Amino acid sequence: MATSSHFLGIETSCDETSAAVLRMEGDRPRLASLVILSQDIHRVFGGVVPELASREHLRTIGPVVDQALADAGLELSQLDGIAVTAGPGLIGALLVGLMYGKGLSYALGKPFIGVHHLEGHLFAPWLEDPSLEPPFIALLVSGGHTLLLDVEAWGRYHLLGETLDDAAGEAFDKVGTLLGLPYPAGALIERLATQGRPGRFALPRPMLRDGYAFSFSGLKTAVLRAVRSGGAEEAHRADLARDFQDAVIEVLVEKTARAVSELGRETAVIGGGVACNRALADALRARLLGAARVVVASPRLNTDNAAMIAAAGGWRLARGEQSGLDLEPFDSGPLPGIS
């Protein structure tokens, strides 16, 4: 019989306080619990306020971890390891999760590992589809990052391209502000776009044919110009949301499909918060029909959560890796194993 082990994941890089227990049965992952507490307070400010985020994490990390253990029916002593997001993210926010995880690790005498947040996003789809195996192309699209990777093996990544300015999610959020929507606006723009007619606003497709790099700030400026000429008025808002979303999706799909074809991969993965966008996944599936399958996790696992951190960290811990208790949080930095 396959032996099982349990990994606690903790994620506090931004405005979600999250804990999860991942049970590994041999090499098959099973999510035993996942608690995500979203900090509502930032809505009032139209963006994440770092100091408030840290305080909220501090207030809730204990109960969130306790709840994740209770949901999994586990005692702390039954854990085999602890995985915590070490970065990139807000330093004060990361510190709360890191300190909590280190404290548990020290008290329990169990290994601890710091996880790169984006490697978490990369592992999320594997939780629901354990047959997902590299090599594959991965498009990671979140509020802070947009990058295209060739995943040669778990832990071995080749960077094909990334954004030169705004991240895709950031573009959704900034356009949301221009359209008078609350933060974060990605899901709201997607909903609005379903009611819009395409083609009313001529928006650019930045760097569409230029290699694998992305740029979204010019598109945002084009939306600003459209807003100045009345695009945010009730009668036009849905059409503008639709044209903006279509422009972002066209660029993301074009580059991902080109990578799939040029590198001869048979699978494409979309990860990160923007992967919640159904129109994006549908467009990539349509584009790759017959050429490659597209794997996307469900929304709960695409936005920030601790299950993905337990998955990436559990994979590394199972290989015997661990971090020292002197590990520091970082606000930016490359994925481990990237070239």
Angle subtended by helix axes 237-263 and 278-288, to nearest 10? 40
Q: Which does 190 bind (CB under 5 to 8 A by kind): ligand KG4, Zn ion, none?
A: ligand KG4
Cα–Cα distance for residue pair 296/146, rounded to 1 Å: 16
Question: Could you tell me how many residues of this chain bind ligand KG4 (CB under 6 A)?
Answer: 19
CA distance 128 to 79: 22
Please give the Cα distance from 18 to 10 (Å, whole number). 6
User: Which of the choices ligand KG4, Zn ion, none does residue 323 contact, using the CB cut-off of 5 to 8 A by kind?
Assistant: none
Beta bridge partners of 24: 5, 29
Task: Show contacts with ligand KG4 in window 102-161 (CB under 6 A).
Answer: 142-144
Near ligand KG4 by CB under 6 A: residue from 150, 166, 173, 239: 173
Is-contact 100 10, C-beta < 8 A? yes
Residue 320, judged by CB atoms within 10 A of its CB (0-12, 13-18, 19+), counts as exposed
169, 206, 231, 329: which one binds ligand KG4 (CB under 6 A): 169
Contact call for residue 273 and ligand KG4 (CB under 6 A): yes
Choosing from 105, 142, 267, 305, the residue that interacts with Zn ion (CB under 5 A) is 142
Question: What is the rounded distance in angstroms from the CA atom of residue 191 to the CA atom of residue 238?
Answer: 9
Query: Quick one: which segment of 2-10, 104-112, 234-242, 267-275 binds ligand KG4 (CB under 6 A)?
Result: 267-275
Q: What would the two tokens of residue 29 be?
A: 């992952």
211 conformational bin, left if phi > 0, alpha if psi -120 to 50, beta if neither:
left
Residue 186 touches which of Zn ion, ligand KG4, none (Cβ within 5-8 Å per kind): ligand KG4
**Alpha-helical runs (H) found in the chain:** 50-72, 91-108, 117-128, 168-178, 186-194, 217-226, 237-263, 278-288, 299-302, 306-318
Question: Which one of 198-206, 214-222, 268-276, 331-339 is the stretch in contact with ligand KG4 (CB under 6 A)?
Answer: 268-276
**Contact with Zn ion (CB under 5 A) among 16, 243, 246, 304:** 304
Q: Which of residues 121 and 265 has its CB atom nearest to ligand KG4 in the complex? A: 121
CA atoms within 13 A on the CB side of 41: 16
231 binds ligand KG4 (CB under 6 A): no
Which residue type sits at 225? R
Work out how close the CB of 286 gets to ligand KG4 at its nearest, in angstroms, rounded to a whole number: 17
114 vs 273, which CB is nearer to ligand KG4?
273
Residue 185 touches which of ligand KG4, Zn ion, none (Cβ within 5-8 Å per kind):
ligand KG4
Which two three-digit tokens encode residue 151?
Answer: 């995943």
Q: Binding string, 2-41, against ligand KG4, x = CB under 6 A?
A: ------------x---------------------------
What is the smallest separation between the CB atom of 16 and ligand KG4, expressed in angstroms? 7
User: Minimum Å distance from CB 313 to ligand KG4?
Assistant: 16
- Smallest gap from residue 235 Cβ to ligand KG4 (A): 23
Q: Judging by beta carbons within 10 Å of its beta carbon (0-12, 13-18, 19+), is residue 127 exposed, middle or buried?
A: buried
Given the rule CB under 5 A, which residues bind Zn ion? 142, 304
Given the rule CB under 6 A, which residues bind ligand KG4? 14, 142-144, 169, 172-173, 184-187, 190, 272-274, 276-277, 303-304
